[in-house]
Amino acid sequence: MSKSTEIASLGEFGLIDRLTKGLGRRNASTLHGAGDDAAVIDLGDRVMLLTTDMLTEGIDFDLSYFPLKHLGYKSVVRGVNDILAMNGKPEQLVVSLGVSAKISVEALDTLYEGMETAAKELGVDIVGGDTTASMNGLVINISAVGFARKEDVVYRAGAHEHDLICITSNLGAAYMGLHLLEREKRVLKDIDNPEPKFEGYEYLLERYLKPRARVNVLDALREEGIRPTAMIDLSDGLASDLRQLCRSSQCGARIYLERIPIARQTSELAEEMHIDPVIAALNGGEDHELLFTVPLDKQEAVMRLGLVDVIGHITKEESGVILVTPDGEGIALKAQAFDR
């Protein structure tokens, strides 16, 4: 009898690698498959970008504090972000739901209202989907389709030595927003008419419950004639996603602790809850920002935009992925064992 391997021993990306390494490619139109934020399908003068994203109740969200309208909005943003991370234009979405008996029709109306709000803001169409019964709560699967010119597609594998490493906003806020919601749920568990204490931390709640797709940043880069050399959706945490980008690009990286943007509310709540805000920024996940690289000679143009933070640069692969502290110490970045 062969020994069983626990999924946690591989990690999320290790599991994906194992499951996809033996998959064949039988169509010339398949330009790029697993290993990026979206698959790339040849359409002649342009490509179609195809991706899917699943959210499961009890793992990715808790309906006791996650408003259904916000959940619908966030699910669309998650799907769209994978297309944006390939430097594409998202256009269509297909929504599939696993629905348990506890979910009412009116609740699903509210969920779809949030989806349509996000879709309208982002200029995409919800064009169909599927529903099925679920024994274990609500399951949402978003499949997103986008398009781009072949020469405009950005992969994870394009970073070069000396490229600048950029992110589109501060990190760790969504992670602390989740911790705030979980704390108030515990504190108010057996209290009638509970009144959660969110005052002063509204920004953190918004970053977790209603993340924003950074379409404006990509538009600004295009207007400046800047094409990222590599890009990835920041969903699993900076440490994990930067390592993924470096692995695909066969390079190393040095990022600087003092350059990682952390919002004031993130630091304040982290201190209150005895959490290191740097750990929240590096490993928290759920930020749904874009992590990308640009050539060194684009530094002035990128800084002029005022929309991104430059946090480091790409190095040789043998140098590893390093976090540099203010005193100059280099710490090797390690990803979490398994991402939620």
pLDDT tens readout for residues 140-172: 999 999 999 999 999 999 999 999 999 999 999
Residue among 280, 247, 22 nearest 176 (CA): 280
d(CA 302, CA 299): 5
How many C-beta atoms surround the C-beta of residue 29 within 10 A? 12
The answer to whether domain 26-152 has CATH 3.20.20.220 is no
User: In the structure encoding, which two tokens stand for residue 268, read together?
Assistant: 């304040």
Successive 10-residue mean pLDDT values, the chain, 340 residues: 72 69 80 90 96 96 97 98 98 97 96 98 97 95 97 97 98 97 90 83 97 96 96 95 96 98 98 96 94 97 95 97 96 63
DSSP character at residue 4: P
Domain covering 156-332: architecture: Alpha-Beta Complex (3.90)
Contact 215, 84 (CB under 8 A): yes
Domain ranges of the chain: 26-152, 156-332
pLDDT tens readout for residues 314-329: 999 999 999 999 999 9
Q: Where are the beta strands (DSSP E) in 46-173?
A: 46-56, 89-99, 125-133, 139-149, 164-167
pTM, entire model? 0.92
d(CA 308, CA 261): 10
Give the β-pairing of 46-56 and 139-149.
Answer: antiparallel
β-partners of residue 96 are: 130, 141
* Residue 237, phi then psi, degrees to nearest 5: 110, 145
Residue 202: helix, strand or coil by DSSP? helix
How many C-beta atoms surround the C-beta of residue 335 within 10 A? 21
Q: Where are the beta strands (DSSP E) in 159-276?
A: 164-167, 230-234, 252-256
Residue among 278, 240, 236 nearest 260 (CA): 278
| pLDDT for the residue 147 | 98
* Residue 158, phi then psi, degrees to nearest 5: -105, 5
β-partners of residue 139 are: 56, 98
DSSP state string for 267-310: HHHHHHTT--HHHHHHH-----EEEEEE-GGGHHHHHHH-S-EE
User: In the structure encoding, which two tokens stand for residue 200, read together?
Assistant: 């002063």
Sign of CA dihedral 187, 188, 190, 191: positive
